[in-house]
Amino acid sequence: MYSMAVFQWTSNDAVFYNSLIQGIVGAIGLAVYIAYTVFNINNWISERKAILFAIMFYLAFYLSSYPWPFYGSSIKYQTATNTTNGNVSSTAGCNPSYKWCADTPAVNVWVYNIAYLIFIGAGMPVVGINLDSLFSKVLGPIRQGTVQGFFLAAGHSLNIFGSIVVSKVYVMSGPRYIWLFIICIISLGVLAFVIFYRRMVDFSIKKSNDENDDNEKMKKISS
């Protein structure tokens, strides 16, 4: 729906180009997984740094694909024309019922799709590899099934209900507020990640650090 409106793709164009883009994203993801397997990238970059870089990639995508005013012309509407045999045909473009298209700048097709390939294509597999690993290490030697279950259930719940809300907002006001909301959420996530960066370590390391801190406090008290 978005690509057909903004890039003036027909339904056939949208299916072809989106399939092509997702295929390239899959190839990038496969390359990242192979790189982690063959070159042991975790020995060079910690899970925390990798996740932070990947989140910044997500932020870069939404910032670059936001409908900024400097993109120029607004999104063009579909136009209906009568053919010689009496049928009505429509050009590709925004649905005439979407009033927001008149004042929403059209993002450049090359900027959007190249940013998607680079930032989402690389960021998604990096998060997938490192987030589960880091979360497991932080939890430590407990029964992780329940906590991991809640973690995954929360993510899937957002996929279910978030898509419903986003589609409603898109129909009413277009991509602008959706993009702003996502940018704010990612920015808050980056801020929280930085604040708690030192706490997101292996449980054994955190326990050792806490014990050392307690010993230091006891020494100060006794002295």
Over residues 118-135, the mean pLDDT reads 92
Q: How far apart are alpha carbons 141 and 105 in whole angstroms?
A: 52
Per DSSP (E only), the strands in the chain are 80-82, 88-90
pLDDT in tens, 159-209: 899 889 999 999 999 999 999 999 999 999 999 999 999 888 877 666 555
Model pTM? 0.83
pLDDT digits (tens, 9 = 90+) for 1-60: 789 999 999 888 999 999 999 999 999 999 999 999 999 898 899 999 999 999 999 999
Rg over alpha carbons for the chain, rounded to the nearest Å, is 23
Q: Tell me which DSSP letter residue 117 carries.
A: I
Q: Side-chain half-sphere of 56: how many Cα atoms within 13 Å?
A: 9
